[in-house]
Structure 1
Amino acid sequence: MDDIDAWVWWLIAAVGLGIPLVVTAMPEFGMFAVGAVAAAGTAGLGGDVVLQVLVFAAVSVALIAVVRPIAARHSHQRPQLATGVDALRGKQALVLERVDGAGGRIKLAGEVWSARSLDAGQAYEVGQEVDVVEIEGATAIVM
């Protein structure tokens, strides 16, 4: 196997490792594919087989050791921009109709919402400001 054949085989290996990356969405296969591309470059520059394998292993392990923890940390973070009903939690609203454990109406984010108090024994009168604790369906739970 001459140098040209070696780099071609490494590129074929990189493509072969890229296929499971796309099918399984496991980023580790992509990191191995990048290691194979680095080994192909080493072969293209005239490195022997031992050096090619060492470059493949070193690049793959380095990527897994550095990139994988960063990717895992980012995948577990909640988005910082809340949208939909998540954006309404913690907002203040104005009581339009008396709100108690049975129901009532509030003005929240420019819209009229049905509401009920978090504490069934607590009531809020017209004109009071309340905090939205939760949204259940189309009803705001307030306190």
Structure 2
Amino acid sequence: MDPWVLWLIASGLFVAGELAGGDLFLLMLGGGALGGMTVALLGGPLFLQLIAFIVVSAVLLALVRPLAKRHLVDRTPEQLDGVATLIGRTAKVTRPVDGHGGRIQLGADEWTARSQYGGDTFPVGATVRILQVEGATAVVGDALELE
């Protein structure tokens, strides 16, 4: 098998490994392997192929990787997930809510709820805002007061 084919396979394996990791390290090594492949295609000996691999990988790791990582981090907004997506949303009271309990309707889901302050009560039909979630219980407050 020709050496350039081995370098191409190595590059593909580095890139495939990068897909699993996502740290951009293996991707830079894949670029270095393409450098080794280029020297092999030009007929260079093995030691020159290895030097090309090392040099290209080092340049990519030192110059391109930090820029690419910064670009990815700066351009990717923080994603809220789980119950954090519920904070700030409004819901309708389906059973009176006080400091001890109650129920609210949020979209198609019904949640156990309690008021943020023990003295606050919300009658059936009132609109409340979810302030936080503790386990499976939404802690709610007056939706109009918080706007």
Instruction: Pick the TM interval, shorter chain.
Output: 0.5 to 0.7
Matches within 5 A, 1:1-143: 7=4, 27-47=24-44, 52=49, 55-64=52-61, 65-71=63-69, 74=72, 82-143=80-141
Secondary structure in 2 matching 1:38: helix
Q: Deviations over 1:77-121 (max 9, x none)?
A: 987665543332221011222212111111111332210112233
Are the counterparts in 2 of residues 117 and 123 from structure 1 also a CA contact under 8 Å? Answer: yes
Distance in 1 of aligned mates of 2:109 and 2:138: 12
Q: CA RMSD of the aligned region, Å?
A: 4.1
Give the structure-1-normalised TM-score.
Answer: 0.64
Distance in 1 of aligned mates of 2:81 and 2:30: 37
**Aligned positions, number:** 140
Q: Deviations over 1:1-47 (max 9, x none)?
A: xxx97647756875897898699876424422320222221231145
Distance in 1 of aligned mates of 2:129 and 2:43: 69
Distance in 2 of aligned mates of 1:123 and 1:78: 41
Q: Which runs of 5 or more structure 1 residues have no equivalent in the other structure?
A: none
Structure 2 vs 1, CA of residues 97 and 24 (structure 1 numbering), >3 Å: closer, same or farther?
Answer: closer
Q: Which amino acid aligns with 1:33?
A: G
Give the structure-2-normalised TM-score.
Answer: 0.63
Are the counterparts in 2 of residues 115 and 142 from structure 1 also a CA contact under 8 Å? Answer: yes
Distance in 1 of aligned mates of 2:16 and 2:80: 35
Secondary structure in 2 matching 1:127: coil
Q: Which amino acid aligns with 2:39?
A: T
Query: Percent of counterpart pairs with the same letter?
Result: 36
Secondary structure in 1 matching 2:105: strand
Distance in 2 of aligned mates of 1:68 and 1:133: 38
Distance in 1 of aligned mates of 2:45 and 2:84: 57
